[in-house]
Amino acid sequence: AVAPLGQVSELAEQLEERLFHLYGFHNELIQERLQALAEVMERVEAARAELRHVCCTVEAAYRDLCL
């Protein structure tokens, strides 16, 4: 049996709505994860800068001791 054109159109609209909702939901998730990743990268960069500072301080201390 062939569904009337009205039913097909209604089903297509429902499907479109669901897909749009799903897309919005996944888009939000992706945005949240990207934000979390950006925050982690900032912390990693801060840790690297701190480590560089510690290395420079230790290096300077060794230089002072050797001289």
pLDDT digits (tens, 9 = 90+) for 32-62: 999 999 999 999 999 999 999 999 999 999 9
Residue 1 has pLDDT above 80, yes or no: no
Q: What is the rounded average pLDDT of the residues 24-35?
A: 95
Residue 2 has pLDDT above 70, yes or no: no
User: How far apart are alpha carbons 53 and 44 in whole angstroms?
Assistant: 14
Tokens of 50: 């701190």
Torsion angle in degrees (nearest 10) through CA of 37, 38, 44, 47: -140
Q: Answer yes or no: pTM beyond 0.85.
A: no
DSSP state of 3: P
Residue 54 exposure: Cα atoms within 13 Å on the Cβ side: 6
User: How far apart are alpha carbons 49 and 56 in whole angstroms?
Assistant: 11
